[in-house]
Homo-oligomer: A and B are copies of this chain.
Amino acid sequence: MGEFELIERFFKRPVSRNALGVGDDCALLSPAPGMQLAMSTDMLVEGRHFLSTVDPSRLGHKALAVNLSDLAACGAKPLAFSLALALPRADEAWLAGFSRGLFALADAHGCELVGGDTTRGPLNICITVFGEVPAGQALLRSGARAGDDVYVSGTLGDARLALEMFRGRLSVPAAVFEAARTRLEQPTPRVALGLALRGIATSAIDVSDGLLGDLGHVLRQSGVGARIETAAAAGLLAATSRVAGATPLLHADMQLELVLAGGDDYELVFTAPASARQAVQAAAAACATPVTRIGAIEAGSGLRLVLADGTPLQRRYPSFDHFA
């Protein structure tokens, strides 16, 4: 199977919305009048972003999901994406699975493949995604203001729990592992929530490196600090809740660490004025995505963790860094 047959068989599909799809030197995109084009790119490397044993259809899903998550964090509606793929060899079973998972998620979001590149090389998946947002309405990292509430969508920490299981550092029952593994391998980009939060949220970012690290970007770019209530945050770990019984599955410290610094969650952390609490909950309900208030923005700088009674917590948590 040659390069062009590979593209033809697994990646060429009719493109309807955009002016010109796969098969010319460039794809042509025409945002509607008054719309800005939001663009983001993420590169996934074997052994860093996924394990070599991952099911290829789950990998196809994840490669696009992490990019759609960036659109969600800007409140942009998905339109199109390009795919650059380095493959050690043209493995038909792998390509069939990968493209199936990729296009299933793409179709669910009306996001069309419009261009790309394929080459031989160590497995590497680089997707660039395009969305549209009315000019001036994108959710940015720089808009948080003192007094705003801090929210997180969905659950946090499950992806890291699965990774620690794969690494042999934690042991949990099989049902918990499967639930956590699905979150690691098939994250849900919060696209509908991002759209619903336009005009309500003052800032947003998606959680890829860990809640505290990613929230830190918002604080620095907004010139503010924040207080996070650990009691609210600790409840966000979903996989463990699948096991009935009075005995907690994980030590409370471990649970909190997974939530605060786990990473690979692809949930949205966002801020909104206290006056918008009803609007936030209505937006969340409208897209069936739970959101939890976990703290508040403060004047100044830095991030404080506080217990339920307001006592400060001194522990530090690392944020994920590919080169640290």
Residues on A facing B (Cβ under 8 Å)? 1-4, 6, 19-20, 23-31, 33, 36-43, 45-49, 70-71, 73-74, 76, 82, 84-87, 89-90, 114-122, 124, 126, 128, 130-131, 133, 135, 138, 140-142, 204-206, 221, 321-324
Residues in B whose Cβ lies below 8 Å from that of A70: 25-26
* A49 and B82 within 8 A (CB): no
Tell me the complex Cα distance, A140–B23, Å. 10
Smallest CB separation, A52 vs chain B (Å): 13
Q: Which residue of B lies closest to A42 (CB)?
A: B117
* B120 and A45 within 8 A (CB): yes
Tell me the complex Cα distance, A84–B124, Å. 11
Tell me the complex Cα distance, A114–B40, Å. 9
* B28 and A38 within 8 A (CB): yes
* A41 and B117 within 8 A (CB): yes
* A324 and B115 within 8 A (CB): no
Contacts A26-B38, A26-B76; is A138 near B86 (CB within 8 Å)?
no
Smallest CB separation, A70 vs chain B (Å): 4
* A39 and B26 within 8 A (CB): yes
| Residue from the list B3, B131, B142, B321 in contact with A2, Cβ < 8 A | B321
* A128 and B74 within 8 A (CB): no
Tell me the complex Cα distance, A131–B19, Å. 15
Residues in B whose Cβ lies below 8 Å from that of A131: 26
Residues in B whose Cβ lies below 8 Å from that of A221: 23-24
Give the interface centre of A40, A71, A76, A142 by most chain B CB atoms within 10 Å.
Answer: A40
Residues in B whose Cβ lies below 8 Å from that of A204: 25
* B115 and A40 within 8 A (CB): yes
Smallest CB separation, A51 vs chain B (Å): 14
Tell me the complex Cα distance, A140–B82, Å. 18
* A84 and B37 within 8 A (CB): no
Contacts A26-B138, A141-B23; is A41 near B74 (CB within 8 Å)?
no
What 6 A-B pairs have minimum CB-CB distances, sorted nearest first?
Answer: A45-B121, A26-B38, A126-B126, A25-B73, A43-B84, A122-B122
Tell me the complex Cα distance, A42–B23, Å. 14
| Residue from the list B3, B39, B135 in contact with A323, Cβ < 8 A | B3
Contacts A124-B86, A321-B3; is A41 near B119 (CB within 8 Å)?
no
Q: Other than the known A3-B323, A25-B141, A43-B121, what 7 A-B pairs have Cβ atoms closer than 8 Å?
A: A1-B323, A4-B321, A29-B36, A30-B135, A40-B115, A43-B124, A117-B126
| Residue from the list B48, B86, B115, B135 in contact with A41, Cβ < 8 A | B115
Q: Which residue of B lies closest to A27 (CB)?
A: B39
Contacts A24-B74, A27-B38; is A323 near B124 (CB within 8 Å)?
no
Tell me the complex Cα distance, A120–B204, Å. 26
* B119 and A49 within 8 A (CB): yes
Contacts A3-B324, A20-B138, A321-B2; is A37 near B28 (CB within 8 Å)?
yes
